[in-house]
């Protein structure tokens, strides 16, 4: 991890946890600085520790961990960011399985949540949060570490870059060429049965959430569209994203959106120049 790196967009929050199995801030759309990209357990003295995951593939277990302050004590003061105090992304090393969960904290600072990891192998756990220090200053941080689900690991081949993907009868297209180290405009278009989708529902405070992982090191970025979700106002069919990626290469992006009272997760591979 490079502690001084700044990524684009704020964390997502909300009332639902989401899972995807792939076989093949604050203001949305604005620059909100958080420190870290999930490649290390420690940033600015804050440490992700005592991380444990489900012991058996395919069976529901628990993900648990603590965040430690620079003083060495368990951090227990957190600010709410988009309705939640903790946002956790879990992805398999081959980028084929993805979970987005929101643990709850016990009095001793231990965070935990039920979690099912479908297949054995290595997984990256990324925690994003706003920690409040003794002076009342908040620190928006992204920490990460690895866990292992016992069993034979068979890595899947990452699907090649493409401009569209489909899930649950919906098609999502992504237009634009992202370039590392600069803001790159992307346009998302949603359709179903060949017709534009105009009834996207606000989900976790936004019309869509894009969580991307860099192939190889699994550096994470989290993005929202510029169109802000307000109340029950529907969105779509077009959403604009001011995307920023730190590194060139391939990213596996998980696009989450809600329509028909159901959350859908559409994976897509993008090439960043």
Q: DSSP string of 81-135?
A: BTTBS-EEEEEETTS-EEEEE--EE-TTSEEEEEEE--S-EEEEEEEEEEEE-TT
Whole-angstrom CA distances from 145 to 67, 105, 177, 178, 192 are 12, 19, 30, 27, 38
Six token digits for residue 39: 């490649």
How many whole angstroms separate alpha carbon 111 and alpha carbon 143? 14
Provide the CB-side half-sphere exposure for 106 (13 A, CA).
8
Count of C-beta atoms within a 10 Å radius of residue 140: 21
pLDDT band with cut points at 50, 70 and 90 for residue 268: very high
CB atoms within 10 A of CB 14: 21
Domains, in order of start, for the chain: 6-149 (2.60.40.10), 164-272 (2.60.40.1220)
What's the confidence (pLDDT) of residue 204? 85
Residue-wise pLDDT tens digits, 46-84: 999 999 999 999 999 999 999 999 999 999 999 988 778
Burial of 188 (0-12, 13-18, 19+ CB in 10 A): buried
Question: Sign of the CA dihedral 145, 149, 152, 155?
Answer: negative
The residue among 27 and 72 whose pLDDT is bigger is: 72
CA distance 218 to 39: 7
**Dihedral of alpha carbons 229, 202, 255, 151, sign:** positive
Predicted pLDDT at 13:
35
* Beta strands, E only, 183-226: 183-192, 195-196, 209-214, 220-223
| Closest to 100 (Cα-Cα) out of 10, 11, 8, 168 | 11
**Phi/psi of residue 34, each to 5°?**
-130, 155
Is 60 exceeded by the pLDDT of residue 189?
Answer: yes
Q: Looking at 27-36, 133-142, 205-214, which range is the least confident one?
A: 27-36
Residue position matching structure tokens 């959106």: 257
Which is more confidently placed, 19 or 78? 78
């Amino acid at each position: 991890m490079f502690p001084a790196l700044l990524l684009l967009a704020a964390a997502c929050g909300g009332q639902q946890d989401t899972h995807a199995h792939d076989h093949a801030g604050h203001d949305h759309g604005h620059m909100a600085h958080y420190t870290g990209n999930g490649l290390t357990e420690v940033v600015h003295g804050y440490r992700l520790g005592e991380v444990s995951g489900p012991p058996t593939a395919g069976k529901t277990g628990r993900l648990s961990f603590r965040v430690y302050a620079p003083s060495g004590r368990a951090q227990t003061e957190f600010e709410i960011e988009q309705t939640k105090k903790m946002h956790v992304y879990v992805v398999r090393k081959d980028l084929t399985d993805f979970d987005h969960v929101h643990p709850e904290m016990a009095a001793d600072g231990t965070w935990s949540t039920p979690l099912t990891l479908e297949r054995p192998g290595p997984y990256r756990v990324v925690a994003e949060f706003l920690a409040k220090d003794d002076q009342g200053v908040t620190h928006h941080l992204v920490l990460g570490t690895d866990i292992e689900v016992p069993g034979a690991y068979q890595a899947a081949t990452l699907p090649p870059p493409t401009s569209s993907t489909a899930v649950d009868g919906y098609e999502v297209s992504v237009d634009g060429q992202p370039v590392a180290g600069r803001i790159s405009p992307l346009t998302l278009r949603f359709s179903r049965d060949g017709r534009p989708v105009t009834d996207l529902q606000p989900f976790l405070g936004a019309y869509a959430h894009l969580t991307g992982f860099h192939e190889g090191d699994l550096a994470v970025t989290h993005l929202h569209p510029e169109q802000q979700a307000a109340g029950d106002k529907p969105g779509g069919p077009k959403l604009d994203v001011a995307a920023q990626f730190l590194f060139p290469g391939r990213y596996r992006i998980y696009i989450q959106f809600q329509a028909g009272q159901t959350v859908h997760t559409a994976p897509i591979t993008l090439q960043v120049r």
